[in-house]
Structure formats: structure tokens, C-alpha cells
Amino acid sequence: MRKLKTLDVFEALRLVQKSGLKDQLVPLIERFAKKPEEVQKAGILGVLTLIEVFADNKCEDLIYKWLAGPFECDPDEVRNMELDELATKLQELTEENDLRNFFTVLSGLLGRKP
């Protein structure tokens, strides 16, 4: 598992744009940016919101690609991951990263888009 990097912010931005996720994700990001004590919930709810929207918008492959970066694996490995392993990796992702900063940067970039 690697830490989130700048490239992950821009990859997430592309995911939001391609999926039409902005209307659902921006309020979530803003809510948790104001409550740093709930940053783990922000990460988990953010990923679950991504999955929900991507499933509806046929953007499933985009989420596999995005998670493959910090998980340091191939998108197909994410696609075929056991649910308990995915949950463990998502938990690890939230514990090893400053998700408040990640969501603050993402929110700022989303705010600049029309």
C-alpha cells in the first residue's frame, strides 16, 4: 500500500467528472472537511459513494483503476478482490493517509469547475 499522491487527486477528479458524481460528493467532502475527527468516515463514505454512483453510471472500471494506484496492484486484481480483503485495504488506506487534506484539495479543484 502506498500513500496517496498528487496523481491520485487528479485521477479522482477525472472520476468525479466522468461519472457526474460532483453533486453527491461535494457535500460529503465539505461535511467531513469541517469535522476532522470523522475523517475515517469520510474516506469510507467517499469510496462507497463512488462505488454507488459508478455502478449506476457504468463507470466501474474507473474505480478499479483509481484504487489500483494506492493498492499497488492491477485494476483487475481490485475487480477480483475478496470483499474482506477490499475492506481491509480500504481501512488501511484511511489509516495511512491524510484524507482530510486529500478531500480538501479535491473539493477545491471541484469548486473551480463549472
**Averaged pLDDT, groups of 10, the chain, 114 residues long:** 88 81 74 70 73 73 90 96 93 86 80 55
Q: What range defines the domain where residue 81 resides?
A: 6-111
Q: Is residue 1 part of a domain?
A: no
Q: Is residue 38 part of a domain?
A: yes
- Structural domains counted in the chain: 1
Quote the pTM value. 0.67
Take residue 113 and report the three cell numbers written for it. Answer: 469547475
Q: Is residue 81 part of a domain?
A: yes
Please return the burial class of 25, using the count of CB atoms within 10 Å of its CB with bins 0-12, 13-18 and 19+: buried
Q: Is residue 40 part of a domain?
A: yes
